[in-house]
């Protein structure tokens, strides 16, 4: 099925029934002069030109099979490891393509960007490689490792607002004040063309692919992949995934134009965007088959699965495609390629997410029970738990609460288990030993 790897895929262009027509006017290659994104679209030729430009600059990231996910989906599932890309995400592809297209005067004025971290690092590295000064506005509270890495790649970091959209407003003001060129994280033809090179690589690495699942924030990555893949393989289904608390695309698609969310919230900072980009929105509306949403528990479970089963460190936004597979595994025709879009996760967030993911997967068990307040009672309880192979993470022993009887003590336990089945076995062991677990 599909073309040989060297051919990228079959020929032809796609158009979905009922989709809005693509904007007219071809986008010049990466070296072309910039123009207003709203007046232009992105073509397969643009993505191919970006691929040539990026040769030797970015990595052709691996496509790694997942037996566990394949078993759940009932078809082959492969992970496109953009978390192993330079700077830890796909963002360097679009940033380099955009900056490389600037003229001499524009380069001399420098570039400015806004990002929670991944685009910041991509712009900083791309600008350094091309000898261009860069300033990056980041929201307050951006993960410290991403801030440090952005500085190390050569950018000047400034802080503004608490979400990317607020930082973007500050970046626009800086551009108007200084003449620096704004490198938008997703709403520019050059950026989208660069991100689209991920799609060309997927078609080369897995010519038989039937479904590509991609995390969505502003929409640049999924739009670029859709441009490349639908032009060559219109039969491939493209599915975007958003965090439910920051899902601007479903209401925007329903309204027929970009809609701004009032207060988006998600731990997946890489896709925490309140409003779709104008150009990505047009391309998504035309070319992307479906946009799904996933909850925070889904994201946590996906991150945990990537770490445990695939041995890959992935940030919550980067794991969103896997989260969609976990949430509805039989909804995807295989072979499926899930794009792991980034791996730049704050260690403190990773620690919290792993705990949450283990709890969501039934790996933690919290219990309250009462026992007779006598010497050795607590030791006897711990012996029962030891025989049940439950690992005690934390224990609270209350003996003076007025709700307790004169000879009673209350114990609150936090246990580590191997999963839901083991949780049931632990509860059963406690009941057999005569303990009453409180609701």
Q: What is the CATH number of domain 362-438?
A: 3.30.70.260
Write out the two tokens for 350.
């990773």
Is it the case that residue 213 has pLDDT exceeding 90? yes
Question: Residue 137: is it exposed, middle or buried by C-beta count within 10 angstroms (0-12/13-18/19+)?
Answer: buried
How high does pLDDT run on average in the chain?
Answer: 87
pLDDT digit string, tens, across residues 264-276: 999 888 898 889 9
Q: Which residues are annotated as catalytic? A: 91, 341
Segment among 16-20, 156-160, 418-422 with least mean pLDDT? 16-20
Q: What share of the chain is helix, strand, coil (3-state, %, to 5)?
A: 45, 20, 35
Q: Which part of the chain has CATH 3.30.70.260?
A: 362-438
CA 227 – CA 246 distance, rounded (Å): 24
CA distances from 170 to 165, 166, 199, 379, 438 (A): 9, 7, 32, 60, 53
Q: 407 falls in which pLDDT band (50, 70, 90)?
A: low
Domain 5-21+44-87+191-358: which topology? Rossmann fold (3.40.50)
CA 314 – CA 412 distance, rounded (Å): 33
Is it the case that residue 378 has pLDDT exceeding 70? yes
Q: Which part of the chain has CATH 3.40.50.1100?
A: 5-21+44-87+191-358, 91-182
Is it the case that residue 33 has pLDDT exceeding 60? no
Write out the two tokens for 129.
């490689």
Nearest to 172 by CA among 162, 156, 160: 160
Model pLDDT, residue 270: 86
Percentage with pLDDT > 70 across the chain? 88
CA 272 – CA 261 distance, rounded (Å): 10
276 or 31: which leads in pLDDT: 276
Average pLDDT over residues 321-344: 96
Model pLDDT, residue 155: 96
Q: 163 falls in which pLDDT band (50, 70, 90)?
A: confident
Model pLDDT, residue 58: 97
Q: Is 95 in contact with 122 (CB distance < 8 Å)?
A: yes
Round the CA-based radius of gyration of the chain to a whole number and report it: 25
**Domain 91-182: which CATH number of 3.40.630.20, 3.50.50.60, 3.10.310.10, 3.40.50.1100:** 3.40.50.1100
pTM of the prediction? 0.80
CA 264 – CA 95 distance, rounded (Å): 25
Model pLDDT, residue 12: 36
Assign 295 to helix, strand or coil. coil
Q: 337 falls in which pLDDT band (50, 70, 90)?
A: very high
Is it the case that residue 170 has pLDDT exceeding 70? yes
């Amino acid at each position: 099925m599909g073309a040989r790897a060297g051919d990228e895929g079959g020929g032809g262009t796609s158009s979905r029934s009922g989709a809005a027509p693509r904007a007219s006017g071809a986008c010049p290659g990466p070296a072309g002069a910039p123009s207003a994104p709203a007046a232009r679209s992105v073509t397969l030729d643009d993505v191919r030109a970006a691929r040539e430009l990026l040769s030797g600059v970015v990595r052709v990231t691996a496509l790694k099979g997942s037996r566990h996910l394949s078993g759940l989906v009932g078809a082959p599932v492969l992970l496109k490891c953009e978390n192993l890309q330079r700077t830890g995400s796909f963002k360097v592809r679009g940033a380099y393509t955009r900056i490389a297209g600037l003229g001499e005067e524009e380069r001399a004025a420098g570039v400015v960007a806004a990002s929670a971290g991944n685009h910041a690092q991509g712009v900083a590295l791309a600008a350094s490689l091309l000898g261009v000064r860069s300033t990056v506005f980041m929201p307050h509270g951006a993960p410290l490792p991403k801030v440090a890495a952005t500085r190390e790649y050569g950018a000047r970091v400034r802080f503004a607002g608490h979400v990317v959209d607020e930082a973007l407003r500050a970046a626009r003001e800086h551009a108007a004040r200084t003449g620096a060129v704004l490198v938008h994280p997703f709403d520019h033809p050059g950026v989208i063309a660069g991100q689209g090179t991920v799609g060309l690589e997927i078609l080369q690495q897995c010519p038989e692919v039937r479904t590509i699942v991609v995390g969505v924030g502003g929409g640049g990555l999924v739009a670029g992949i859709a441009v490349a893949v639908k032009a060559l393989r219109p039969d491939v289904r493209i599915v975007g995934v958003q965090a439910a608390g920051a899902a601007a695309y479903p209401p925007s698609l329903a309204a027929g134009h970009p809609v701004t969310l009032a207060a988006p919230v998600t731990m997946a900072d890489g896709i925490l965007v309140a409003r779709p980009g104008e150009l990505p929105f047009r391309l998504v509306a035309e070319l992307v088959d479906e946009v799904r949403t996933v909850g925070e528990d889904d994201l946590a479970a996906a991150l945990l699965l990537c770490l445990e089963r695939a041995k890959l460190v992935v940030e919550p936004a980067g794991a969103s495609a896997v989260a969609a597979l976990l949430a509805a595994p039989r909804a995807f025709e295989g072979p499926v390629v899930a794009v792991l879009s980034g791996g730049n996760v704050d260690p403190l967030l990773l620690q919290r997410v792993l705990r949450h993911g283990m709890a969501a997967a039934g790996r933690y068990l919290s219990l309250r029970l009462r026992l007779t307040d006598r010497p050795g009672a607590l030791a006897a309880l711990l012996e029962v738990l030891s025989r049940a192979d439950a690992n005690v993470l934390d224990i609270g022993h209350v003996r003076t609460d007025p709700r307790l009887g004169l000879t009673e003590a209350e114990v609150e336990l936090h246990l580590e288990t191997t999963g839901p089945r083991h949780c049931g076995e632990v509860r059963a062991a406690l009941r057999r030993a005569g303990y009453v677990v409180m609701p």
